[in-house]
Amino acid sequence: MKSVDYIIVGQGLAGTLLAHDLIEKGHKLVVIDKDMKASASKVAAGLFNPVSMKRCIPTWNASVFLPFAIERYQQLEKKLDTSFLNLTPVLKVFSNNEVSKQWKVQYSNTDINQYITAFNKEEKFSYLKDSSGTAQIDPAGNLEVNKFLSSSREYFESIDSYINEVFDYKEFNPETATYKNIVSQRVIFCEGFRVLQNPFFDFLPIRPTKGEVMKIRIPSQEKLDYILSAGIYVLPLGSYEYIVGATYNHKDMDDVVSESGLSFLIEGLNKILKADYELIDTNAGVRPTVKDRKPLLGLHPLLPKLGVFNGLGTRGVLIGPWLSTQFCTNLTTNTNNGLLADNERVNKFFC
């Protein structure tokens, strides 16, 4: 039998962050994952910014999550000897003068001014339909999620801590935390929306949400200096290519972009972009969202050797690093010391 401290099931964003934290605390573990279609982390744009675009207020706990996330990803870039974090301002394109006015009122009356660095005059950008002006948000940017996951996977493989297979619940003993020939102290499930198929955590209120994106080419713009936001986002990749997203589909849970989803993205893009563009590709993934938009992490109420880290949702890149570090501390010290990084939320959904 092989003995480890932890088994982590799933190597999306949550599982990867937690694995790094536990390894850096000196714990031996194994990550079990199989590259699956429709995984949200595999197709995510990885955007992060501290402002709620609809209400023009700071996002939940932004003053804590944002600086911690930037610092943590930079640490992991050094550890993995690669780059995957891009710090790029977000440019909010106002749909009309009323929205512009509302943002300026919020800027004057709330602490949002720490994140809005400029209001730009109308029609400043030749490639945009910005007749009502724009606002610049900084710091912000994106994590190249797939690059982060693949470089992490190579690292886990290099220290003999990765198994490429689908976790088989029939081969698992939850009482002893033993999987096949591997015995552990705890097993943490980080399976994204597929936790709904997990017989131990299928009571959690995960609401799968399909996100659809398209890749375009703008021949006149090699790389914009901003991430555009206007009901959709436009993320610059370089070499004239951009990702446009994203939809919120609660019906179809496959990796196929729907006609309605593609139409939504094209219509949104056409509202803000003056420049000509070409459609290159489309993609889709399913996010593990929760109705109250708060993550789910903690231990099983009856099986204390089992834990879950899930429900990071659309702001996973922003909130994941801090929550992972808190959860790691809780797991390794048996204390509850952080925001939502305890068992209360998991317990309340158990019946």
What is the reported pLDDT for 72? 98
Please determine, for residue 248, whether its predicted confidence score (pLDDT) is greater than 90: no
Please determine, for residue 337, whether its predicted confidence score (pLDDT) is greater than 70: no
**Residues 237-259, mean pLDDT to the nearest whole number:** 88
What is the reported pLDDT for 344? 62
Please determine, for residue 39, whether its predicted confidence score (pLDDT) is greater than 80: no
Please determine, for residue 229, whether its predicted confidence score (pLDDT) is greater than 80: yes
- For residue 190, the one-letter residue type is C
DSSP assignments along 133-167, one per residue: -EEEE-S-EEE-HHHHHHHHHHHHHHTT-EEES--
Q: What is the pLDDT of residues 55-76, one digit of tens each?
A: 899 999 999 999 999 999 999 9
Q: Is 208 helix (H, G, I), strand (E, B) or coil?
A: strand
Confidence tier at 190 by pLDDT (50, 70, 90)? very high
Confidence tier at 1 by pLDDT (50, 70, 90)? confident
Among 42-46, 47-51, 120-124, 308-312, the least confident range: 42-46
Token pair in block for residue 320: 């994941």
**Residue 34: closest CA among 240, 191, 147:** 191
DSSP conformation class of 111: G
Q: What is the pLDDT of residues 193-210, one digit of tens each?
A: 889 899 999 888 888 888
**Residue 222: closest CA among 244, 238, 242:** 238
- Alpha carbons 3 and 114: distance in angstroms, whole number: 49
> Which sign, positive or negative, has the C-alpha torsion 63, 66, 70, 72?
positive
Question: With contact defined as beta carbons under 8 Å apart, do 137 and 116 qualify?
Answer: yes
**Residue 331: closest CA among 67, 2, 7, 3:** 7
> Which sign, positive or negative, has the C-alpha torsion 149, 150, 151, 153?
positive
Q: Which residue has the tokens 């005059």?
A: 121
Please determine, for residue 252, whether its predicted confidence score (pLDDT) is greater than 90: no
Confidence tier at 53 by pLDDT (50, 70, 90)? very high
What is the reported pLDDT for 291? 74
Please, what are the domains in the chain? 2-44+146-205+292-348 (3.50.50.60), 87-141+207-290 (3.30.9.10)
Q: Which helix (H) or strand (E) holds 32?
A: strand 29-33
**Residues 157-161, mean pLDDT to the nearest whole number:** 98
What is the number of other CB atoms lying within 10 angstroms of the CB of residue 163?
18
**324 Cβ contact partners less than 8 Å away, ≥ 6 residues apart:** 14, 17, 18, 20, 21, 309
What are the DSSP E strand ranges found in 246-303?
A: 278-290, 296-299
DSSP conformation class of 59: P
**Residues 295-317, mean pLDDT to the nearest whole number:** 92
Please determine, for residue 339, whether its predicted confidence score (pLDDT) is greater than 80: no
Phi, psi of 172, deg, nearest 5: -120, 135
Question: With contact defined as beta carbons under 8 Å apart, do 129 and 272 qualify?
Answer: yes
How far CA 91 is from CA of 36, 120, 255, 319, in Å, comes to: 33, 10, 29, 21
- For residue 258, the one-letter residue type is S
Confidence tier at 347 by pLDDT (50, 70, 90)? low
- Alpha carbons 141 and 157: distance in angstroms, whole number: 29
Q: Is 6 helix (H, G, I), strand (E, B) or coil?
A: strand
- Alpha carbons 232 and 245: distance in angstroms, whole number: 5
Mean predicted lDDT score pLDDT of the chain: 91
What is the reported pLDDT for 41? 61
What is the reported pLDDT for 200? 95
Q: Is 114 helix (H, G, I), strand (E, B) or coil?
A: helix
Token pair in block for residue 199: 């017989």
Q: What is the pLDDT of residues 96-131, one digit of tens each?
A: 999 999 999 999 988 899 999 999 999 999 999 999
Please determine, for residue 290, whether its predicted confidence score (pLDDT) is greater than 70: yes
Percent of the chain with pLDDT over 70: 93
What is the reported pLDDT for 38? 46
What is the number of other CB atoms lying within 10 angstroms of the CB of residue 281?
12
Q: Are strands 178-179 and 182-189 parallel, antiparallel or unpaired?
A: antiparallel
What is the reported pLDDT for 299? 92
What is the reported pLDDT for 155? 98
- Alpha carbons 307 and 345: distance in angstroms, whole number: 12
What is the reported pLDDT for 348? 58
